Chains A and B, each alone.
Chain A
Amino acid sequence: MNAEKEVILIGELAVREKVLLRMSLESFCI
């Protein structure tokens, strides 16, 4: 991930499983 970005806004709607996306993002950020 680009370390310069401190805040990332991700807008999504009805994109399958939001929970899955969140979990993926969380695992990516650890």
Chain B
Amino acid sequence: MSLPTTVTGIAQAVRRGQVSARAVTQAALDRIAARDAEIRAVTRLLTERALQMADALDACIVAGEDPGPLAGVPIGIKALFDIKGLPTTAGAAMRVDAPAAEDDAAVLQRLTGAGAIPVAVLNMDEYAYGFVTVNAHFGTTRNPRDTARLAGGSSGGSAAAVAAGMLPLTWGSDTNGSIRVPAALCGVWGFRPAHGSVPEEGSFPFVPMLDTLGPFAATLDDLETGLAVAMGRPVAPLSALSVARLDGWFVTHAIDAYEEIFSAIGRVLGTMPMAHLPRVEAARAAAFFITGHDGGRLHRAELAQRPLAFDPETRDRLLAGNLVPTDLRDRAADFGAWFRARALDLLDRYDVLLAPATPDVAPLIDNPVIHTGDGPAPARANLGMLAQPISLAGLPVLCAPVSRPGKLPLGLQLIGAPGREGALFDLAARLESGGVLGV
């Protein structure tokens, strides 16, 4: 039989012994070899370990054991997850000789415990501080939908590997939008879990108050399967009975193409009320301010010892963050608590809130400018302006690709309350059936 390409298809065929995990793994390696010279999503292949794991898994199948819901599924992971025996670079050249990790990251253990086979480490902005995946050492990840354009970031390698068809499931991190931005720009499904719902042990931190770890996939089912394994529990089925579109900031700073998209959503759902989340601009500012402080402090020792070893784009931001007073950072966090409470108030009235994921489509690599409500703006600083406020609220967000045949991808944030992720998957499925969403 021909090899399946989806997570669910691969796992089912491997569990039934219809295809071998080794064949699936080798096929993924072959796809990467064929495509990644152009895309540059992969920073390291895990060939030897992957083939050994595949052989071991095939032996389990022969012995009558069930490896789990990700049996034989080749996955890729952002370069900030610990992999036993390898340095965790977090996208930093200065860490290529760091001590080897003593164990796999906790979330990677859950994935491999369910049968997944890690085959590649994926590119990112240095230390996850960026929305573009332009890395001075590991290169720029190109957008598979248009290789003249950026993939977005900081989990750009993870999104691009799925969009290019190299891997069916990848893993990234999202502090201020680093899953949602690249998922939107590359036109794949992504999920930012509620803060704390996926274990973070063994991942290189950035801003612990905001950091989350989540999946990318080419199908909605695959996204849910990966998320459930990582959370250690199924996504509880829920219906999205009431849905609203966020107004204000989320309308002003998105390109006009979103109006057609929301009109189409309104036709599917029958209604599309607007909802108001107060002081969104301040939420974005607070997340930015906290990130500067916490990221700067995290790297202060290295900045003191060898500042010129950093990627210049990362370094100057981390340095500046070191001069943010901690008492003001704490005041920004106080505002964050207020903002989260307002967001949860709104989610008492609505099951799902909708908002664009990025202001514009993927910018050109040679001219990284996007359009916002303030006019043309630098992509690096503004791609996350619609994602960042939701990070401050700590909410789970499903980032869905809008169905736009022949056009550059755009993404939609489906925002819910922690523990009610099922409503996000329910709405996404309905909108996909209605032709509004989908790869």
A, B bound: no
Interface residues, chain A, CB within 8 Å of chain B?
A: none
Interface residues, chain B, CB within 8 Å of chain A?
A: none
